[in-house]
Amino acid sequence: AQTVTQSQPEMSVQEAETVTLSCTYDTSESDYYLFWYKQPPSRQMILVIRQEAYKQQNATENRFSVNFQKAAKSFSLKISDSQLGDAAMYFCAPKGEYGNKLVFGAGTILRVKS
Amino acid sequence: DVKVTQSSRYLVKRTGEKVFLECVQDMDHENMFWYRQDPGLGLRLIYFSYDVKMKEKGDIPEGYSVSREKKERFSLILESASTNQTSMYLCASRAGGAGELFFGEGSRLTVL
């Protein structure tokens, strides 16, 4: 069974600065996918970024990038040039190559200060 | 614009009542999911469905049942609501494989 740990219940960042949210997971599968989802206050959860475990190159989507370390089972999210709209709860979620289940971490609340 | 629509944003029910939470998606996705979100616990999977009339238990199915009579609609049923089922319920859908999950806005249920 997969488990996910997000060790930072809350983080704060100054607007325009960089912040890193951490995620570690445990899985027995060799091939899997990793996701970061964002849940803004009172709004729908949306996908931020996705990483395939077989790819060595870290995924990047505009200001969002990941530091994926497969051996350490670590999947952190870096947000550069933070904006007020980045304030949200962020969830890390691995998914096995087969099957339908994503396992979500407990989430990290990100606050952005102006 | 793709959409997952949950029928009620806020519900207040009494202990013992039967509760229906409805979810409709317009993306022709095979897979649909019901999650429960509680502070400090993240999202926990209650049930999912990979086809019409097909369902599988998630991690916390006790006290819940589901129905999927049509591809676009996935209902969560609380046969006899209890106070420990007070929570935020999130519906999601996905095409096959490792595609993106699309979420509804959530239904916040309070059981008194």
Q: What is the pLDDT along chain A (114 residues), one digit of tens a residue?
A: 678 999 999 999 999 999 999 999 988 887 888 999 999 998 899 999 999 888 888 999 999 999 999 999 999 999 999 999 999 999 999 887 666 778 899 999 999 999
Q: Residue A1's pLDDT is what?
A: 60
> pLDDT per residue over B18-71, tens digit each?
999 999 999 999 999 999 999 989 999 999 999 998 999 999 999 999 999 999
pLDDT over threshold 90, residue B104 = yes
Query: Which residue of B88, B103, B107, B108 is the best one to mutate when testing the A interface, meaning the one whose CB has the most A CBs within 10 A?
Result: B103
Q: Residue B1's pLDDT is what?
A: 67
With beta carbons under 8 A apart, name residues in chain B contacting A91. 42-43
Among residues A5, A3, A40, the alpha carbon closest in space to that of A24 is found at A5
Q: Residue B98's pLDDT is what?
A: 72
CB atoms A44 and B106 under 8 Å = yes
Mean pLDDT, chain B, whole residue set: 94
DSSP state letters, B14-62 = -TT--EEEEEEESS--SEEEEEEEETTTEEEEEEEEEETTEEEE-S--T
Q: Residue A112's pLDDT is what?
A: 98
Among residues B74, B83, B77, B79, the alpha carbon closest in space to that of B4 is found at B74
Residue window 50-79, chain A: list those with CB within 8 Å of chain B.
Answer: 50, 52
Which of A43, A46, A104 is the closest to B43 by Cβ? A104
Is A39 exposed, middle or buried (CB count within 10 Å of its CB: 0-12, 13-18, 19+)? Answer: buried
Closest CA of chain A from B104, distance in Å: 6
With beta carbons under 8 A apart, name residues in chain B contacting A55. none
> pLDDT per residue over A33-63, tens digit each?
899 999 999 889 999 999 988 888 899 999 9
